[in-house]
Structure 1
Amino acid sequence: MRTGQSSFVSWSWLILHALLVLLVTEGNSDRKITIENRDEEHLLLPTHDHDHLSLSSNRNQMDPSLNVFFNPVDLRLGKTMPIYFSKRDPSVSPKLLPKQEADSIPFSTSNLPYLLEFFSFPPDSPQAKAIEYTLTQCDLEPIKGESKFCATSLESMVEFATALFGSGTQLKVLTTSPLSNSATLLQNYIVLETPNEILAPRMIACHTMPYPYAVFYCHSQESQNKLYQVLLGGENGERIHAAAVCHMDTSQWDRSHVSFQVLGSEPGTSPVCHFFPSDNLVWVPLPA
């Protein structure tokens, strides 16, 4: 087993422990919850959802955050490609609530007026639009062959994974882990080692959503996906253990999904691969 692979696997539950330390609120959080401090133009765009971003006719002018998509042939030793990795500041990021507290707060578009009053956000504010967006996405029916759930606590996330993989299944959580500090969001990275495929019959990807407290949009598709751990080296010297997935069947995807514009493909014609940002989690079952 390579050093990068060993570190990636053995740190799985350490990551969960760190999340508890960094994300769980301390003391009474009632009405003291704030939405993550992002630029307003990106406030409504969770890191996993690029459906509504438009691609300029000049590829050099496309949104930098779209530099996460790639083709399977790009995942090879020595390949260089521009990649955007968002930086997470735990001091200003939304906090994970304990399950009991999270369950006591309504979470549905039907409760939007109450929630805006609860969080003290004006109806026409960017924060209100972000809340409405997240609730709408979480209320949508899953696509064919997909299981989805919006987790408002770590406990509910684990319960969803256990229900999907089976009671008693041992779980492993993967994420993208920077090995050095860098303020650079977009730069050229080179694949430093042969990518390691994480073999699992199924995976659950959990993406952060814009909300006053931490909410993860978790989903799993029955179609084939390939999960990888990739050691990357940035042109500025930064090193990253990155989690990446290749969706092998995109036939059920919306034709307007921006990944098809970025990669020049169409639903069902070729796989779509992408890297995960560091605040996203990927759950897989450990072999029995």
Structure 2
Amino acid sequence: MDVKLPLCSLLTLLAVINGNGLNKMDMRIEQVHSASPHMHHHMDPTLVVFFFQEDLKVGNTIPIHFPSRDLNSVSARLLPKEEADSIPFSSHQLDHLLDLYSFPRGSPQATAMEDTLRQCETKPVKGETKTCPTSWDSMLDFATSILGSSNEIRVLATTHITRASGVLQKYTITGIEEYPASKVVACHTMPYPYVVFYCHYQESQSRVFRVSLTGENGDRVEAVAVCHMDTSQWSPNHVSFKVLGVEPGFSPVCHFFPADNFVVVP
């Protein structure tokens, strides 16, 4: 298997992942962000990454929040598959897990662990296949089970050309490249004592783009964006619909990925 991600990008991705700990409460799946000119001025800036497909044009300017990651923070680490597989990963084992990591019940860390386990155990929506790999190898196993083991796979992640400022600002689109992928696996990092991925595949069509962006303050980002072409099976309460002011199935919904989330394509 050949993971088509430049070594420097892979190391950066893993470094960012390893710098994302339990205090990063904005990494819940329902907080995937938003970016739309239609958003309300009082909206939580961490929700700014959703946008409409028609917004994706060179020269267009849209507000986006790319969270900055403290790569030097002491937090979650990526475990080898053997070690990760030896640790229970179940809400039924929560009390044991809290004792294992010495987290008091009701603490922010305990709440984050419980929330991650709950989301990982929630049934997928119609047409969705999901899992929560607890190691890089397990993530690759899931991705190849969807994309086909005979395929070379490519891991695409957002990269910051300049140091991320972490501020909500307007970005101008300076370039767009589409990856012609028939299937897409998206993975999001979750708050947990060690790195856990929330990975899912939706049977409905998705389009994957790499978008070159320049911020008002000079920030330059090569961002991964995914447009979901059919949202008719999504929950009406999904945050994207609140941000964009639309209903399920109304139009494609697109969103940018923060630096420690990624997509896997053939």
Structure 2-normalised TM-score?
Answer: 0.90
Structure 1 CA distance, aligned partners of 2:98 and 2:114? 9
What is the aligned partner in structure 2 of residue 150 from structure 1? 132
1:220 aligns with 2:204: no
How far 1:196 moved relative to its partner?
1.1
Secondary structure (helix, strand or coil) at the match of 1:61 reads coil
What is the aligned partner in structure 2 of residue 15 from structure 1? 9
Which AA in structure 2 matches 1:162? Answer: T
Q: Once structures 1 and 2 are overlaid, which stretch shifts more, 15-24 or 210-219? A: 15-24
1:80 aligns with 2:66: no
Larger Rg: 1
Q: How does 1:1-288 map to 2 (within 5 A)?
A: 11-19=5-13, 35-38=21-24, 43=25, 45-50=26-31, 59-92=40-73, 93-193=75-175, 195-285=176-266
How far 1:37 moved relative to its partner?
3.4
Structure 2 CA distance, aligned partners of 1:146 and 1:167? 19
Structure 2 CA distance, aligned partners of 1:62 and 1:223? 29
Structure 1 CA distance, aligned partners of 2:15 and 2:246? 42
Structure 1-normalised TM-score?
Answer: 0.84
Structure 2 CA distance, aligned partners of 1:233 and 1:175? 17
Is the Cα contact below 8 Å between 1:24 and 1:97 reproduced in 2? no
How far 1:183 moved relative to its partner?
2.2
Structure 1 CA distance, aligned partners of 2:16 and 2:242? 36
What is the aligned partner in structure 2 of residue 29 from structure 1? none
Is the Cα contact below 8 Å between 2:153 and 2:264 reproduced in 1? yes
Structure 2 CA distance, aligned partners of 1:182 and 1:24? 17
Q: Structure 1 unaligned segments of length 5 or more: list them.
A: 1-8, 26-33
Structure 1 CA distance, aligned partners of 2:244 and 2:16? 36
Q: Once structures 1 and 2 are overlaid, which stretch shifts more, 229-238 or 92-101? A: 92-101
Is the Cα contact below 8 Å between 2:212 and 2:223 reproduced in 1? yes
Which AA in structure 2 matches 1:158? Answer: L
Which AA in structure 1 matches 2:201? Answer: S
Corresponding pairs, count: 258
User: In the superposition, relative to structure 1, how do residues 11 and 157 fare at CA in structure 2: closer, same or farther (>3 Å)?
Assistant: closer
Is the Cα contact below 8 Å between 1:50 and 1:257 reproduced in 2? no
Q: Structure 2 unaligned segments of length 5 or more: list them.
A: none
Which AA in structure 1 matches 2:140? Answer: V
How far 1:117 moved relative to its partner?
0.5
Which AA in structure 1 matches 2:9? Answer: I
Deviation per residue, 1:121-170 (Å, 9 max, x gap): 01111111100000011111111111111011001001111111122221
Secondary structure (helix, strand or coil) at the match of 2:208 reads strand
Which AA in structure 1 matches 2:223? Answer: A
Structure 2 CA distance, aligned partners of 1:11 and 1:246? 21
Which AA in structure 2 matches 1:37? Answer: N
How far 1:36 moved relative to its partner?
3.5
Is the Cα contact below 8 Å between 1:244 and 1:275 reproduced in 2? yes
Structure 2 CA distance, aligned partners of 1:168 and 1:24? 30
Is the Cα contact below 8 Å between 1:12 and 1:174 reproduced in 2? no
Structure 1 CA distance, aligned partners of 2:167 and 2:28? 13
